[in-house]
Amino acid sequence: MFNKILIANRGEIAARVIRACKEMGIKTVAIYSEADAQSLYVKAADEAYLIGPARVNESYLNIDKIIEVAKESGAEAIHPGYGLLSENVQFVKSCEEAGLVFIGPKSEAIDKMGSKIESRKLMEKAGVPIIPGINHSLENAEEAVAVAEKIGYPIMLKASAGGGGIGIQTVRNSEELTKAFVSNQKRATDFFGNGDIFIEKFVECPRHIEIQILADSKQNTVYLWERECSIQRRHQKVLEEAPSSFLDEETRVKMGEVAVKAAKAIGYVNAGTIEFLVDEDKNFYFLEMNTRLQVEHPITEEITGIDIVKEQINIAAGKDLPFGQSEIKKLGHAIEVRIYAEDPRTFFPSPGEITKLELPSGENVRHELAINEGSVITPFYDPMIAKLIVKGNTRNEAIEEMKKALDQYIVEGIKTNIPMLKEVIAHKAFSEGNTTTNFVEEHLREKLAQL
């Protein structure tokens, strides 16, 4: 087992990994930018190193500096968390070349799944259902229009690289498509350094349901059931739950088996997530694979009792999975909401100092955060500041727990999306399980404008 691990991340996920390491008796090394010098995760680590100025490209994305700090500190392994460098092939290769263990999949697997176009090809070859569309990059807007007319509107125009909803847009006619092609290609180039754009058929009223998998180096691969992540704004998740209220047991098992098949097809090792779109008839289609730990992993931990971060570390240390598929239970229901420092009406970031923070408590309440009163939320990073997770014996119990917890959650000094989350959790459509990806647009657009 490792003696010391460097966490190549910040905020709540850095704090989460540090906690798992401490429980395993592993020393931790934090890195921080000038803007994060007073952050709680920095104080929680055994050692902490300044990595650079506030901007991410000068700090958390500085591969050479991170490798240098890992060597200087004597760390044997690096945990990337999610986002930032977690799916950066060059970073993984740099770790491998430096003799450092990257706690995640090998660079080859990340490379294969890093392109949505290439991953479509691989999944189709492996017999995994994919959404009707094309498996090549579009040359220009004219080709895009020709392809869209052949597939039939509406379509999804999608960037092949990256994530977070960037470079993705629903298009319903050729005029919209011509405008959207140029703007999305530019955004994809600016954010990911890759302007490849492709088209998929738009699935009407879909649900976003994903399967968590774990795989050791001997290709023992299991699925940890599913998470439904359909409540989104701007193609970014804001509420997740496990299990899905929509799936029947037969479909649930079938999706899990397909996810394992997909992982084995690329020789995947460590934790990963296969994301699917599911239509009204429970037909499911491969969307993408996230070759890292997911933001929403806590709800899977709550219903299975499996600590995914610890399993990541064990797998990276060469250990076999200690359980098989038949031993993985599904108990109760868990819901997670993401707390964003943003205006709930416009979704624009709201940086500033947190002047008051009161957190809900209780046996069924879990927090993932690295903030307190006095914390300053800067404009340099993703505006997610915390995650709130609750559990109940049933979905209805979990909903009631979340209602109580959100009522007790007080943040002052900045705006947050808590008012929006309250509207979601109290809505009749949510309680009835009618949670498609257009939930916010369909049910909350007018309500949010009045907040």
- pLDDT tens digits, one per residue of 372-399: 999 999 999 999 999 999 999 999 999 9
pLDDT of residue 182: 85
What percent of the chain has a predicted confidence (pLDDT) above 90?
Answer: 77
- pLDDT band at 195; cut points 50, 70, 90: confident
Residue 109 has pLDDT above 80, yes or no: yes
pLDDT of residue 104: 97
For 135-158, write each residue's pLDDT tens digit.
Answer: 898 888 899 899 889 988 999 899
Do 147 and 182 meet the contact criterion of CB atoms below 8 Å apart?
Answer: no
What is the C-alpha to C-alpha distance for residues 17 and 27, in angstroms, rounded to an integer?
11
What is the C-alpha to C-alpha distance for residues 304 and 72, in angstroms, rounded to an integer?
38
Q: Phi-psi category of 162—alpha, beta or left, where left has phi over 0 and alpha has psi -120 to 50?
A: left
pLDDT of residue 191: 77
Helix (H) or strand (E) run with residue 226 in it: strand 221-233
What is the C-alpha to C-alpha distance for residues 299 and 432, in angstroms, rounded to an integer?
20
pLDDT of residue 295: 97
Higher pLDDT residue, 324 or 344?
324
Residue 183 has pLDDT above 90, yes or no: no
Contacts 24+ apart (CB under 8 A), 203-206: 203/131, 203/277, 203/279, 203/285, 204/279, 204/280, 205/279, 205/280, 205/436, 205/437, 205/438, 206/230, 206/277, 206/278, 206/279, 206/436, 206/437
Cβ neighbours around 315 below 10 Å, total: 22
Q: What is the mean pLDDT of the chain?
A: 94
DSSP 52: E
Give the residue extent of every domain in the chain: 4-103, 132-201, 207-449
On whether the 132-201 domain is CATH 2.170.190.11, my answer is no
pLDDT of residue 233: 87
For 12-26, write each residue's pLDDT tens digit.
Answer: 999 999 999 999 999
- Of 48-52, 135-139, 414-418, minimum mean pLDDT range: 135-139
Residue 164 has pLDDT above 70, yes or no: no
pLDDT of residue 220: 97
Residue type, 172: R
Residue 346 has pLDDT above 90, yes or no: no
Cβ neighbours around 130 below 10 Å, total: 17
CA angle (63, 64, 68) in 5-degree steps: 115
pLDDT of residue 263: 95
Listed in order, strand segments (DSSP E) in 305-427 are 333-340, 352-353, 356-358, 365-369, 376-377, 384-392, 410-412
Strands 207-215 and 221-233: antiparallel
Catalytically active residues are 292
What is the C-alpha to C-alpha distance for residues 283 and 247, in angstroms, rounded to an integer?
10
Q: Of 263, 274, 275, 276, whose CA–CA distance to 221 is shortest?
A: 263
What is the C-alpha to C-alpha distance for residues 309 and 248, in angstroms, rounded to an integer?
28
Span 192-200, mean pLDDT? 87
Architecture of domain 207-449: 2-Layer Sandwich (3.30)
Q: Of 415, 375, 414, 407, whose CA–CA distance to 388 is shortest?
A: 407
Identify the three-state secondary structure at position 50. strand
Beta bridge partners of 49: 31
Looking up tokens 């977690």 gives 86
For 216-251, write each residue's pLDDT tens digit.
Answer: 999 999 999 999 999 998 888 999 999 999 999 999
For 65-90, write each residue's pLDDT tens digit.
Answer: 999 999 999 999 999 999 999 999 99
Looking up tokens 């919209």 gives 176
pLDDT of residue 190: 78
Architecture of domain 4-103: 3-Layer(aba) Sandwich (3.40)
Listed in order, strand segments (DSSP E) in 329-439 are 333-340, 352-353, 356-358, 365-369, 376-377, 384-392, 410-412
Beta bridge partners of 342: 349
Q: Of 295, 292, 282, whose CA–CA distance to 237 is shortest?
A: 295
